[in-house]
Amino acid sequence: MKRLLLSAACFNWSVALLFVVDIQWTFTLLGIKPVPSEPLFVELFATLVFCFGIGYFWASRDPRAGAPLIRLGAWSKLILVLVGGLEVVRGLVSWPLLLPLAVDLFYALVFFGLLQRLGADQRL
């Protein structure tokens, strides 16, 4: 359980780092065009992703106490998958975006299962 949350934190931190360090390369890798000329919103998104990673790290230290963070992460990841998947279906973004979205879907489903296991799923 703790390792799973730590792996989610590392995944988020890695994604955030990719968006901040080299936007051009990351957008090309994910097939997102055009690359924004003003990176502010990408950097704000990366900051949010990084902060969620901090939340997963905190939750890994005490998953029961961190259940609200896990719940927020599960719903956020699920919504991100739906929005990103819709963009791929609409043809606005190419299919490589589905790879990190698949990881987010995995974590969302596992987080919901974890909440159920912790007995913290009553307030979904």
* Residue in the block written with tokens 């912790």: 118
Predicted pLDDT of residue 122:
58
Task: Count Cβ atoms below 10 Å from residue 23 Cβ, excluding itself.
Answer: 17
The domains of the chain are located at: 2-118
Predicted pLDDT of residue 96:
86
Q: What is the CA radius of gyration of the chain?
A: 15
* Residue in the block written with tokens 């997102």: 32
| Tens-level pLDDT at each residue, the chain (124 residues) | 899 999 999 999 999 999 999 888 988 887 777 788 888 999 999 999 999 999 999 999 999 999 999 999 999 999 999 999 999 999 888 888 899 999 999 999 999 999 999 986 555 5
